[in-house]
């Protein structure tokens, strides 16, 4: 039954909802779009990488992904927060290269290096045939890449997706990880259903900045952890998964430091 104020002021709830949305948008603007980031976004727009930012797709402590428009199509704009929060939970191996490019106290420099790294790794993955967002460009803490999703929003994370054929997903994941390991010669290092998207019935690998060369001393242990995470998830869906066979199929024997001599 309508409340009295809703009868007298039938648009009051709509006006409140509009104010609430405006408040949320203002909060996002304050959190992500400081002066330096606005300048970076403006530069990327002037380069023709996108026309305007539409709305947020996903936000977190380290950064956020926004849908952007480009000539009637969509692109994804990933914005990293500039601060120590971005690097607080990263393992030491993921910071090795960054420390060669910027001081550990220069958070702006570290974030720019991290953004550039993700752009480069995405390019390597796409070139190797991996389902990963195609990178289009970057500047400072802003990365522009392929948008996965529809007009209504972004593609779901794998953990939230409806998977009708778990056994097929197992085969697809095996192919994607193998292309990453054998083709791109990289190990993700933090792969799970939480940072894999499910789009057009394929898994897409994202959040790849922490990936390391397959020759890295820790690469084999990290690949084994990635596969273990997915084996557990796939069994939960009902797929028949043998961890040893999974590891062999993704090319674990090609991972690790080269043999001495």
pLDDT tens digits for range 76-123: 999 998 766 666 667 777 777 777 666 656 677 888 989 999 999 999
CATH for 36-150? Answer: 3.30.200.20
Q: What is the tens place of the pLDDT at every residue in 171-217?
A: 999 999 999 999 999 999 999 999 999 999 999 999 999 999 999 99
CA R_g for the chain: 21
pLDDT of residue 23: 59
Catalytic annotation present for 190: yes
**Do 147 and 154 contact (CB within 8 A), yes or no?**
yes
pLDDT of residue 21: 56
What would the mean pLDDT of 127-156 be, rounded to a whole number?
96
Determine the Cα–Cα distance for residues 249 and 237; give it in Å rounded to an integer: 20
Kindly report the backbone phi and psi dihedral angles of residue 48, in degrees, each rounded to the nearest multiple of 5, phi listed first: 85, 15
Contacts of 167 (CB under 8 A, 6+ apart): 239, 240
Question: Of the CATH numbers 3.20.20.10, 1.10.510.10, 3.30.420.40, 2.30.29.30, which one belongs to the domain with range 155-254?
Answer: 1.10.510.10
pTM for the model stands at 0.86
Catalytic residue among 30, 165, 207, 253: 207
Q: What whole-number percentage of the chain has pLDDT above 90?
A: 67
Q: Is the pLDDT of residue 16 over 80?
A: no
Residue spans of the domains in the chain: they are: 36-150, 155-254
Q: What is the tens place of the pLDDT at every residue in 207-229?
A: 999 999 999 999 999 999 999 99
Regarding predicted confidence, which is higher, 2 or 191? 191
Regarding predicted confidence, which is higher, 48 or 23? 48
Catalytic residue among 190, 226, 242, 253: 190
pLDDT of residue 7: 35
Longest dimension (CA), the chain: 86
Q: Apex CA 194: angle with CA 193 and CA 197, to 5°?
A: 70
Q: Is the pLDDT of residue 4 over 90?
A: no
Regarding predicted confidence, which is higher, 17 or 237? 237
Question: Tokens representing 241?
Answer: 């998964």
pLDDT of residue 24: 62
pLDDT of residue 8: 38
Contacts of 127 (CB under 8 A, 6+ apart): 184
**Do 117 and 98 contact (CB within 8 A), yes or no?**
yes
Query: What ranges in 102-218 are assigned the alpha helix state H?
Result: 107-127, 166-178
Matching fold, domains 36-150 and 155-254: no
């Amino acid at each position: 039954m309508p409340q009295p104020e809703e009868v007298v002021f039938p648009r009051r709830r709509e006006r409140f909802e509009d104010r609430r949305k405006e408040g949320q948008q203002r909060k996002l603007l304050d959190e992500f779009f400081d002066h330096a980031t606005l300048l970076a976004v403006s530069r990327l727009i002037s380069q023709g990488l996108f026309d305007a930012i539409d709305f947020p797709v996903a936000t977190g402590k380290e950064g956020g992904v926004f849908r952007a428009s480009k000539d009637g199509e969509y692109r994804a704009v990933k914005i990293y927060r500039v601060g120590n929060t971005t690097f607080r939970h990263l393992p030491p191996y993921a910071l090795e290269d960054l420390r060669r490019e910027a001081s550990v106290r220069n958070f702006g420099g570290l974030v720019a290096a991290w953004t550039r790294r993700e752009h480069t790794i995405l390019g390597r993955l796409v070139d190797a045939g991996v389902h990963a967002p195609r990178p289009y460009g970057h500047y400072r803490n802003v990365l522009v890449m392929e948008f996965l999703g529809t007009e209504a929003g972004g593609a779901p994370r794998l953990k939230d997706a409806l998977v009708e054929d778990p056994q097929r997903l197992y085969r697809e994941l095996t192919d994607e990880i193998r292309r990453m390991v054998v083709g791109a010669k990289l190990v993700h290092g933090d792969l799970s259903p939480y940072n894999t998207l499910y789009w057009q019935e394929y898994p897409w690998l994202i959040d790849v900045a922490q990936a390391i060369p397959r020759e890295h001393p820790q690469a084999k242990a990290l690949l084994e952890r990635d596969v273990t995470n997915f084996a557990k998830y796939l069994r939960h869906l009902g797929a028949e998964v043998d961890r040893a066979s999974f590891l062999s199929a993704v090319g674990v024997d090609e991972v690790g430091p080269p043999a001495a001599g």
